[in-house]
Chains A and B, each alone.
Chain A
Amino acid sequence: AQSVTQLGSHVSVSEGALVLLRCNYSSSVPPYLFWYVQYPNQGLQLLLKYTSAATLVKGINGFEAEFKKSETSFHLTKPSAHMSDAAEYFCAVSDTGRRALTFGSGTRLQVQP
């Protein structure tokens, strides 16, 4: 069975500060890992994904994430937060056997001016 844990339901950073959103996963087979972003009243937009290629994955809007098998983690980072980054972020896992995504509970990112 798969599961995802996102530490911190709310994260607040200042504009220009480092963004770090944490995600730990559990999977019995090699996972596919994803970060999605959801802006208010909108659907989910893919930020980036890991599918067993490079462990450091770069996504859109300056975000990146590093797959660490030993820590079963896939934390999302951005060096400098922008006001437009304020949204809810979801980490998700799937694998070749189960295509459906299992989502974490989400982290709401607030960016202070």
Chain B
Amino acid sequence: GAGVSQSPSNKVTEKGKDVELRCDPISGHTALYWYRQSLGQGLEFLIYFQGNSAPDKSGLPSDRFSAERTGGSVSTLTIQRTQQEDSAVYLCASSRNRGGDADTQYFGPGTRLTVL
């Protein structure tokens, strides 16, 4: 079946602009995660959605970062007033809530964000 998809695959923006990154999880997966991969910081957790529960935002680096998940499916990560240090690959992952595979996260191909 279809995997996790992310769009756009690449995004170049100017410092100070807002950007939106989209993630479509695997159908039926109730958990959705955002991670950031950068040269300096490696792979970092950003935010986690599980069904209708309040999201775990503990990994968001600043209040310029926010995310929402509409209808328990598609998620959008928004970065306001982008800075050069926001340049990174943003990865989305999804997983089931229960069953033998519930602990396995499946990753999308990522969105490469470049802030000029």
Find out whether the CB atom of B59 lies under 8 angstroms from the CB atom of A42.
Answer: no
Find out whether the CB atom of A100 lies under 8 angstroms from the CB atom of B42.
Answer: no
State the majority secondary structure of interface residues on A. strand
- By a CB distance below 8 angstroms, the chain B residues around A106 are 42-43
In the complex formed, the residue of B with least CB distance to A53 is B100
- By a CB distance below 8 angstroms, the chain B residues around A36 are 107
Contact of B107 among A43, A49, A105 (CB under 8 A): A43
Find out whether the CB atom of A100 lies under 8 angstroms from the CB atom of B107.
Answer: no
Q: Determine how close the nearest CB of chain B comes to the CB of A80; give it in whole angstroms.
A: 27
**Chain A proximity mask over B73-116: 1 for CB below 8 Å, otherwise 0:** 00000000000000000010101000000011111111000000
Interface size on A, residues (CB 8 A): 21
**In the complex where A43-B108, A43-B109, A43-B110 touch, is A32 in contact with B103 (Cβ < 8 A)?**
yes
Find out whether the CB atom of A101 lies under 8 angstroms from the CB atom of B45.
Answer: yes
Contact of B104 among A46, A102, A104 (CB under 8 A): A46
Find out whether the CB atom of B107 lies under 8 angstroms from the CB atom of A44.
Answer: yes
**Chain B proximity mask over A75-113: 1 for CB below 8 Å, otherwise 0:** 000000000000000101010000111111110000000
Q: Which residues from chain A sit less than 8 Å from chain B, CB to CB? A: 32, 34, 36, 42-46, 49, 51, 90, 92, 94, 99-106
